Structure 1
Amino acid sequence: MTYSMTAFARKEQSFDFGTLSIEIKSVNQRYLEPTFRLPETLRPVEMKLRERLKQKVKRGKLEVNVRFYAQSGADSLGVDEARLTAVQRALEKVQAQVTNTAPVNPLELLQYPGVLIDEALDIDAVNAALLNQFNDALTDFLAGRTREGEVLANAIAERLDDITTIVAAIREEAPEWVQTFRDNLREKALNLGAEINPDRLEQEVVMLAQKADVAEELDRLDGHVKECRSILKQKGAVGRKLDFLMQEFNREANTLGSKATKESITRNAVQLKVLIEQMREQVQNIE
């Protein structure tokens, strides 16, 4: 099963205590790089969210945005004294180092994240709801990755079919190469007015045929196609394996092109490189 690194999911739900909104989006990235944005009130639950995410996702640059809109009345607001004390101590250190600082407005202290709290808010209930809602959003997110991954896998499979067809076509033309070498050498010798030694001619043909032999490259290309199909069926993160395999594909196509002495073979080698580059672009989005 192939998974894409590009996906998006959003969940919003209203509760007695307010409304929770969760968004998860991701793009391709070599490693797993999650970023969480949530209110300070819910910050203690961030580690659990990270752990659940890492259990399901292995690669990608992810953004998780959590928004919370409380429904409690303004008369239930209170102050987190521990948080306020910590902020005041930090200000005292700054004032000790910086001279002529302006006095701090108490309202500014209240605006610092986590200082002003809702005393009527059941934070445990909010955290529990957040975890459940995050699981739902993560499920939708993974489903999106799966659907997109299937599209990528199908696109790669189509190009693998094309590569197999091109390799087979080159194999059919390969036996003609030796005869082409022989004819070219005989023609050059005749143009020079030289007497043709059949044994010498055959030796030259064999040497040139060995230099232009692409059987090994064709065998490797067939092997890479089989390996690629096998990897696409594996579970988990396979993007790095496929990325390495694309490099091997490209290496064989380059060698094949450098050995080509026939126009049709050259065209096929170029087409191979086009297909390989198209696959490489798809692979960049696979987990």
Structure 2
Amino acid sequence: MPVYSMTGYASAQLTPETATAPTDTPCVRLGLEIRAVNSRFLDLTFRLPEELRAQEPALRALLSRHLKRGKVEVRAAIEQDASASLSTPSIALLQRLNMVQEHIQAWLPSAKALSVADALRLAGNSAPTTTDWASILSPLAEEAVTALLDARAREGKRLAKTLLDRIAQLRELAAQATPLVPQLVEQQRQRFLERWQEAMGLAQGQVPAEAAQDRALSEATAFAIRIDVAEEITRLDAHLDELERLLKKGGEIGKRLDFLIQELHREANTLGSKSATLELTRISVDMKVLIEQMREQVQNIE
């Protein structure tokens, strides 16, 4: 199953051919476009002309079936062909307009006569509207939604690849951190022993040698416990495994990825707080940079 981005754009156009329309019906073009950006929930906005207002529930149901998250804006426009907009009124209609005009002027002698523009406007308003917008808009909306899903899938594939690259880099940093702690513990152990040996020399035998050595080893052990990051590295590896599994599985994984990114950041912070060397500090900072980059990408995944 693909990974879907919440960002995408799609458009579709259609010229309706209505068999029941009269020959002088103006040719129109219906355009539909969908824009989507990231959002925590599914937020649908419609900007439709009056002729299509009744189709909003059907459009909302269609989008809700295919999209789960994102701020989605749907725009539709009906464009009339200018070359066909001036249709010739029928003789019967013109006779009817003339009859109405004579009737009005009989009662209102001061009323102005109809102009050509008035006659064309009244003839256009009286023309029957036979366009079945529901049957026209439905396949057009399906086409646009399919194109939007394809665009979101392509963007999601790029996001998944970027995240997998960052996961590989985090694994390398974790591998660099793992052998540093035992080395540091051994160095600190030797340092404690040397200090206690110096202290024993200053004490001139007043403190038993075994007790001094035991104290030095106890201090070294306490130090090792304070700086041990093995648990953090183990949890970090587990989170990376789960992230990789979800990215390969696909589907609606955005919220779970976001939670795992928070956990990764927590482990990197803990690793930095336990750092006793500049090398571990550098690794922690590099991890935080990569995790922050991943967070920005995850915010766009559905």
Query: Could you say if the C-alpha distance between residues 18 and 118 of structure 1 is closer, same or farther in structure 2, counting changes exceeding 3 Å?
Result: farther
Higher mean C-alpha displacement, 228-237 vs 55-64: 228-237
Percent same amino acid among aligned pairs? 40
Q: Give the aligned partner of residue 288 of structure 2.
A: 273
Checking the alignment, whether the CA contact within 8 Å between 2:192 and 2:217 is kept in structure 1 is: no
1:59 aligns with 2:66: no
Deviation at 1:185, TM superposition (A): 2.2
SS in 2 for 1:233: helix
State how many pairs are aligned.
Answer: 248
1:133 aligns with 2:131: no
SS in 1 for 2:280: helix
Query: Could you say if the C-alpha distance between residues 189 and 137 of structure 1 is closer, same or farther in structure 2, counting changes exceeding 3 Å?
Result: same
Q: Give the aligned partner of residue 25 of structure 1.
A: 35
Please tell me the residue identity of whatever aligns with 2:61.
E
Deviations 1:217-243 (A, max 9, x none): 000000000010111123432111111
1:155 aligns with 2:162: yes
For residues 285 and 31 of structure 2, what CA distance do their matches in structure 1 show?
A: 50
> 1:104-115, aligned counterparts within 5 Å?
none
Query: Could you say if the C-alpha distance between residues 219 and 194 of structure 1 is closer, same or farther in structure 2, counting changes exceeding 3 Å?
Result: farther
SS in 2 for 1:15: coil
Q: Give the aligned partner of residue 41 of structure 1.
A: 51
Query: Could you say if the C-alpha distance between residues 274 and 5 of structure 1 is closer, same or farther in structure 2, counting changes exceeding 3 Å?
Result: same
Checking the alignment, whether the CA contact within 8 Å between 1:239 and 1:286 is kept in structure 2 is: yes
Q: Give the aligned partner of residue 242 of structure 1.
A: 257
Higher mean C-alpha displacement, 21-30 vs 174-183: 174-183
Q: Among residues 120, 141, 166, which one is paired with 2:128 in the alignment?
A: 120
1:8 aligns with 2:16: no
For residues 128 and 119 of structure 1, what CA distance do their matches in structure 2 show?
A: 21
Checking the alignment, whether the CA contact within 8 Å between 1:156 and 1:282 is kept in structure 2 is: yes
Q: Give the aligned partner of residue 220 of structure 1.
A: 235
Long gaps (5+) in structure 1: 78-115
Deviation at 1:128, TM superposition (A): 1.1
Checking the alignment, whether the CA contact within 8 Å between 2:272 and 2:284 is kept in structure 1 is: yes
For residues 183 and 85 of structure 2, what CA distance do their matches in structure 1 show?
A: 87
Aligned-CA RMSD value: 2.1
Checking the alignment, whether the CA contact within 8 Å between 1:5 and 1:27 is kept in structure 2 is: yes
For residues 217 and 163 of structure 2, what CA distance do their matches in structure 1 show?
A: 43
Deviation at 1:194, TM superposition (A): 4.6
For residues 273 and 117 of structure 1, what CA distance do their matches in structure 2 show?
A: 66
SS in 2 for 1:9: strand
The TM-score, its normalising length taken from structure 2, stands at 0.77
For residues 128 and 194 of structure 2, what CA distance do their matches in structure 1 show?
A: 98
Please tell me the residue identity of whatever aligns with 2:130.
D
Q: Give the aligned partner of residue 192 of structure 2.
A: 185
Long gaps (5+) in structure 2: 18-26, 90-123, 204-208
Deviations 1:47-102 (A, max 9, x none): 1111010000000001100001245746699xxxxxxxxxxxxxxxxxxxxxxxxx
Q: Give the aligned partner of residue 251 of structure 1.
A: 266
Deviation at 1:156, TM superposition (A): 0.5
Q: Give the aligned partner of residue 108 of structure 1.
A: none
1:203 aligns with 2:211: no
For residues 4 and 215 of structure 2, what CA distance do their matches in structure 1 show?
A: 58
